[in-house]
Amino acid sequence: MFGFASCSKKSSSKNTSTATGWKINDKKGGFQYASNYKQQPAGPGLIAIEGGTFTMGRVQDDVMHDWNNTPNQQHVQSFYMDESEVTNVMYLEYLDWLKRVFPPTEENYKNIYVGACPDTLVWRNRLGYNETMTNNYLRHPAYAEYPVVGVNWIQAVEFCKWRTDRVNEVVLEKEGYLKRDAKLTDVSGEKTFSTETYINAPTKAFGGDEEIVLKGRRGKSKDSINLYAQRSSGLMYAEYRLPTEAEWEYAAVANVGNREYNLYQGQKKYPWSGSYTRSGKRQVRGDQLANFKQGKGDYGGIAGWSDDGADITQIVKSYPPNDFGLYDMAGNVNEWVADVYRPIVDDEANDFNYFRGNVYTKNKIGEDGKVEVVTGDNITYDTLANGKIIARNFPGQIAQVPVDEQETYLRQNFDKSDNRNYRDGDKQSTRYFDFGNSEDDEEGGKNEKKMYDSPQHNVSVDSLGVMTRKYDRSSKRTTLIDDNVRVYKGGSWRDRAYWLDPSQRRFFPQDMATDDIGFRCAMSKVGPKTTKKTSRGKPNSK
């Protein structure tokens, strides 16, 4: 009897407000909250990465002598990351969905599918025969579990957004908030699910079809309480996204395997322990631990006893994982990360969740005072510097606009929407200390004194849809760096072992693609840093 009484008391107190003493989740009304929420589950394909501190940018070799890495201490919050790179079959599922929902034969949607397709021509080489990969690598089932390539940074970001919506869509279907199988039988260009649309304007999700977006679980609502799932319901996942450079490097080096009590014992040169690329274990001694270029003209080793089992890319998870359980964090393909590239990491400005690339936006509010949802008639397309046309947003999503003075006035932590060049590229960072007195710096003026004087290619489309591309032929450009180049890391099948070091970093334009850059997704962890009840002092506990 005492046990039952204790349980009853505990359950009762959980649904009673400690602030007012009122009852929470009362069926008659009042404050509704997910008081029984336990913890965030890992999303499909994700591995939990417990956050911590580490030295970012500490390389053991710097044969380039380019000062591209400066060791600095950073702290990363706990997060989730894909167990392996995004594969061809995963990306094909994305393309299949786009083609079914937004048929490229329809004028309004013709550039959505085409804009998302990887560039299969990245395999071509002037003096090499690679047409087999050009024609087969993306779609042939023989390459299904190989990492997708030919995807630029913008396309990778759009894939992450799509994945977020599809994962949350099936969650709400299982919980009874969406009509069963509507994602297959009722979906169309004007009836799609968007996580943010459902949260901010649930009556506009799926084109406002009340037969699909149910009121209450499985459409059974006896009152006006809990008609729709909300962010506070704790059901939906946080967004899939590209990992930041700090997150990627922290996850790749996996110092957790070298931890003893509160210290890291030694420094890893690669995602695995030791200073060599070959395994020292008895059963597989001498086998390569990653897929990379051994030397000039040696992409896979000697036939019959291959060094790494691959010449181009390789099936994901073909090599041992690191101490976090992540595969291919070195070799196979390089991977896009979220950051805008700069030669330095400004740890003086921030040493917590470091990320350069924040562009803050907010939901666009229409004339009716409600959020404006994108439709097939007002969808916006961006023409990239290379002429590729990509949809900025899909029908069903909420239109976004830059934040304005309403959000920035009298703030100390940020004062504008676009923060990509903060402290390294903005006017205050240049060597021209009189920027405030220059007429070029006045509103509407042309700023000729930019820190990063990169090429400015021009692409224009006339009223007839004819596209004109003009290269920047100036001989006075001083750099390739601007706010549209992104960091990629990890080394690939084309790279020597030097680039397998997790701290190495390179950059590439965000609207271009290659045959050796892929990506994987990450997701922020909400709630506690860790849920494991292990001794904090136990050596090598993960």
**19-27: long-range contacts, CB 8 A cutoff, minimum separation 24:** 27/223, 27/225
Asked whether 48 and 78 are in contact (CB, 8 A), the reply is yes
Between 180-189, 245-254, 460-469, the lowest mean confidence (pLDDT) is in 460-469
pLDDT score, position 217: 85
Is the alpha carbon torsion for 529, 534, 537, 541 positive or negative?
negative
Reported as a single tens digit per residue, the pLDDT across 218-233 is 877 766 677 899 999 9
Query: What gap in Å lies between CA 95 and CA 398, rounded to an integer?
Result: 21
Residues 6 or more apart whose CB falls under 8 angstroms from that of 132 comprise none
More confident residue, 138 or 541: 138
* Alpha carbon separation from 102 to 43, 99, 173, 213, 446 (Å, rounded): 26, 5, 22, 21, 40
Residue 213 has, within 13 A of its CA and on its CB side, a CA count of 21
Burial group, residue 430, by CB count within 10 angstroms (0-12, 13-18, 19+): middle
Query: What gap in Å lies between CA 322 and CA 31, rounded to an integer?
Result: 45
Query: What gap in Å lies between CA 233 and CA 176, rounded to an integer?
Result: 13
- Give a three-class secondary structure readout of 296-357: CCECCEECCEECCCCCCCCCCCCCCCCCCCCCCCCCCCEEEEEEECCCCCCCCCCCECCCCC
pLDDT score, position 439: 53
pLDDT score, position 10: 47
| Mean pLDDT, rounded, for 381-401 | 90
| Distance spanning both ends of the chain, measured CA to CA | 41
* Structure token digits, residue 397: 């999503």
Going by C-alpha positions, the residue among 397, 290, 216 that lies closest to residue 300 is 290
Is residue 253 pLDDT above 70, yes or no? yes
* Structure token digits, residue 135: 């024609």
The pTM of this model reads 0.92
pLDDT band at 541; cut points 50, 70, 90: very low
Is residue 1 pLDDT above 70, yes or no? no
H/E stretch holding 38 reads: none
Note the Cα 237 to chain centre separation in Å.
14
- Give a three-class secondary structure readout of 427-491: HHHCCCCCHHHCHHHCCCCCCCCCCCCCCCCEEEECCCCCEEEECCCCCCCCCCCCCCEEEEECC
Number of neighbouring beta carbons within 10 Å of residue 499: 20
Going by C-alpha positions, the residue among 420, 76, 84 that lies closest to residue 249 is 76
Number of neighbouring beta carbons within 10 Å of residue 212: 20
Query: What gap in Å lies between CA 395 and CA 372, rounded to an integer?
Result: 11
| Mean pLDDT, rounded, for 105-129 | 94
Reported as a single tens digit per residue, the pLDDT across 14-44 is 788 989 999 998 888 888 888 888 888 999 9
pLDDT band at 83; cut points 50, 70, 90: very high
Going by C-alpha positions, the residue among 265, 243, 258, 251 that lies closest to residue 330 is 251
Every domain of the chain and the residues it spans: 1-36, 49-175+235-351+483-532
| Mean pLDDT, rounded, for 83-110 | 95
Is residue 436 pLDDT above 70, yes or no? no
3-state secondary structure of 161: helix
Q: What angle do CA 371, 377, 380 make, to 5 degrees?
A: 75
Residue range 49-175+235-351+483-532 forms a domain whose CATH class is alpha beta
pLDDT score, position 252: 96
Query: What gap in Å lies between CA 10 and CA 4, rounded to an integer?
Result: 10
| Mean pLDDT, rounded, for 268-296 | 88
* Structure token digits, residue 202: 């649930």
